[in-house]
Amino acid sequence: MPKRAGIAILMLAFLAPSAAARTARAQVLIPRAALIAQATPTRHCWIDVKTGKPVRTSFKGSGYEQEPDGSWINPRTGEKVATSPVGSDVSVDGKTAFNPTTGQNYARGLCPQQTARTYCWIDVKTGKPVRTSFKGSGYEQEPDGSWINPRTGEKVATSPVGSELSADGKTAFNPATGQNFARELCPRPKAQTARRQRRHRSGTSPLAGGNLHRIYYYVQGTITSRDGCKGEFYSAAPKVGGTTNEAGDMWLSGGVLHATGSDTPYNNYVGRLSSDGSFTMRAESNGVAATIQGRIASDGAITGTYVWPFMKGCIDHVKLTKGSHLDASWTALGGRK
């Protein structure tokens, strides 16, 4: 269906995904609920004994420090230090990675265990965290948070910044501040638990699973505002009040919402679908992203918004006025709570 065509009736088609679609390089968001179900190593943190909270750590010779959320920083500049799965190439936005040797795809998401709000690199196919590293470290970090020397297989001791380790490596002490630390299971914040319970009660938890059936979708809307689009170069860009549309196939696989689109290069959306039919999906190219978010009603109608990059430097914000799966709600995608 051509881009920005007139109002179209939305069709429903259940089609088997092509071999290319099954093997295409994935760029995905990993649903928290799906990952928690995986049997994965339990992550450990260095904990301040008095406060019970995880603290910043490091290991000898790294020159960098690791935050409780799993990210690394350069303490001299405060800048983030990029990590990646061992042997992989990272995407421009740093959220996905690909191993050209093994064909594995990865996404950076919440670690799949009921502990602190810590981020890991996840194997998209298995849903399990993988070994990572950062440039120049010479060491690799296991999913349980420990570090090893890959040349010898020996553990590399970590410690809270500025502290002295005990002989058994299970406790530490900072002589400057008087703080005591212990290496324990990472705690789960109470606020995070409460949010998860509220989402469960309200019925808006992300869906797991999916039946891989492709459903043809179509959305159309009115441009309500624009970002950029200044000067003669953008004179041909659609104006506020104009209309645009998007169409393609939508399917759910492993709890990840996928969709194709008609507007190259923003034609490979990924995101998530919740149990009330609400969804968000995003397609990115060269640092610019198209985003569709809204809700699929029980009768298949789609409402919401669409952020459409007409081109880099000219972004349209669209309110959806039409869109549907004919006689199919979000349940046709086969997701489960």
Q: Where are the domains of the chain?
A: 19-27+206-336, 32-189
The 140-141 sheet, strands edge to edge? 83-85, 132-134, 140-141, 147-148, 155-156
User: Strand, helix or coil at 66?
Assistant: strand
Q: Does residue 311 surpass a pLDDT of 50?
A: yes
* Tens-place pLDDT, residues 33-50: 343 334 344 677 888 988
Higher confidence at residue 14 or residue 235?
A: 235
Least confident of 4-8, 81-85, 139-143, 280-284: 4-8
Contacts of residue 18, Cβ cutoff 8 Å, sequence gap at least 6: none
Q: Does residue 326 surpass a pLDDT of 70?
A: no
* Tens-place pLDDT, residues 205-254: 778 878 777 888 888 889 998 888 888 777 888 888 888 888 888 888 88
pLDDT the model gives residue 38: 40
Q: Is the peptide bond before 75 cis (omega within 30 degrees of 0)?
A: no
User: Is residue 188 within 8 Å of 45, Cβ to Cβ?
Assistant: no
User: Is residue 310 within 8 Å of 238, Cβ to Cβ?
Assistant: yes
Q: pLDDT over 70 for what percent of the chain? A: 77
Separate counts of helices (H) and strands (E) for the chain: 3, 28
Contacts of residue 227, Cβ cutoff 8 Å, sequence gap at least 6: 314, 315, 317
Say how many CA atoms lie within 13 Å of 290 toward its Cβ: 23
Contacts of residue 166, Cβ cutoff 8 Å, sequence gap at least 6: 172, 173
Mean pLDDT of 68-76: 82
Tell me which residue of 160, 41, 58 sits closest to 111, measured CA to CA. Answer: 41
3-class SS shares of the chain: helix, strand, coil, % to 5:
10, 40, 50
Higher confidence at residue 69 or residue 113?
A: 69
Q: How far apart are CA 295 and CA 105, in angstroms?
A: 28
pLDDT the model gives residue 19: 34
Mean pLDDT of 306-329: 79
Q: How far apart are CA 219 and CA 226, in angstroms?
A: 19
Q: Which amino acid is at 235?
A: S
DSSP 8-state class, residue 54:
B
Mean pLDDT of 131-147: 82
Fold of 19-27+206-336: Lipocalin (2.40.128)
Q: How far apart are CA 64 and CA 166, in angstroms?
A: 22
User: Is residue 59 within 8 Å of 139, Cβ to Cβ?
Assistant: yes
pLDDT the model gives residue 251: 86
Higher confidence at residue 329 or residue 134?
A: 134
| Average pLDDT, rounded, for the chain | 75
User: Is residue 88 within 8 Å of 134, Cβ to Cβ?
Assistant: no
Tell me which residue of 186, 146, 168 sits closest to 48, measured CA to CA. Answer: 186
- Global pTM reads 0.43
| Range among 100-109, 137-146, 206-215 with highest mean pLDDT value | 100-109
Say how many CA atoms lie within 13 Å of 242 toward its Cβ: 15
Residue 304 phi, psi dihedral angles, 5° rounding? 150, -150
User: Is residue 337 within 8 Å of 205, Cβ to Cβ?
Assistant: yes
